[in-house]
Amino acid sequence: MIFFKKKEIPLINFFPDSFVDIHSHLLPGIDDGAKNIETSIALITKMHSYGIKNIITTPHVLGDLYQNSSDTIKDKLREVQAALQRKNITDVTINAAAEYMMDEQFSELLEKNDILTIKDNYVLVEMSYFSAPINLYEILFEIQVKGYKPVLAHPERYSFLHNDFNHYYKLKKAGCMFQLNLLSLTEQYGKGVQKISEKILKENLYDFVGTDTHHNNHLELLKKIGTKKNLEKIKHLLDNNKKFI
């Protein structure tokens, strides 16, 4: 029996030059991502080796767990930018937005227009992995009334949506854009997530992609996506991310 090896593509040739990663956790010590500035720089350096030179990192803003304010995030961003300068890493552009849990705190920030957007009026949002907010569609409506465009992080990872694919169509109809986690193309989050991500891709419901990098293991696993088949499936999404340059 003959086994054909997948046509592998080094990630340096996988990502377009102007690709922008719009979902990661690289600011030191403010969420479940990089723990210190050394880790931040190490992760950014490794991403650079993959050809990812434009980053909009998105620390969690999540209830009492990660009470990050816009000022906290901006301060940590400046710390990382200064460290990159000191190390003479000048061909990486890093900015910061946030990944907002759609909860009561987020509604208060929305009311005050205290929102860090990915760019322009695009705001990255998430839900609990266990259930959607009771007032999910009211929140999505309010986001848009305020002039923002909601980008839902990793819709494939909300297992409570998997049993009825119509949920995804309903979210799209409600004005929600979708961001695919690149590791969902692997079994990193389980076969169920991988399977539903393939279906969302097939239905052409995704708008953007992100690495959702938290630590070095994520970046090691990212190498697995480098196949010709995957590139063909998501090339249009990689190109879409250029709009955030």
Instruction: State the pLDDT at residue 244.
Output: 97
Q: Which residue type sits at 214?
A: H
pLDDT digits (tens, 9 = 90+) for 168-208: 999 999 999 999 999 999 999 999 999 999 999 999 999 99
pLDDT of residue 7: 80
Q: Contact at 8 Å (CB) between 114 and 70? A: yes
Tokens of 134: 């009771």
Q: Are strands 93-96 and 54-57 parallel, antiparallel or unpaired?
A: parallel
- Within a domain: 1: no
Sole residue written with tokens 């900015």: 95
Structural domain count of the chain? 1
Q: Is residue 5 part of a domain?
A: no
Q: One-letter amino acid identity for 162?
A: H
pLDDT value for 60:
98
How many Cβ atoms from other residues are within 10 Å of residue 231's Cβ?
Answer: 16
The reply to whether 4 falls in a domain is no
Residue bearing tokens 């990098």: 213
59 neighbors 27 (Cβ within 8 angstroms): yes
Q: What is the pLDDT of residue 5?
A: 54
Cα–Cα distance, 43 to 34 (Å, whole number): 8
Give the pLDDT of residue 2: 45
Task: For residue range 151-170, list pLDDT tens digits in order.
Answer: 999 999 999 999 999 999 99
Is 32 a domain residue? Answer: yes
149 inside domain: yes
Positions in the chain whose pLDDT score sits under 50: 1-4
| Residues of the domain holding 145 | 11-244
For residue 38, the domain's CATH number is 3.20.20.140
Q: What pLDDT sits at residue 6?
A: 63
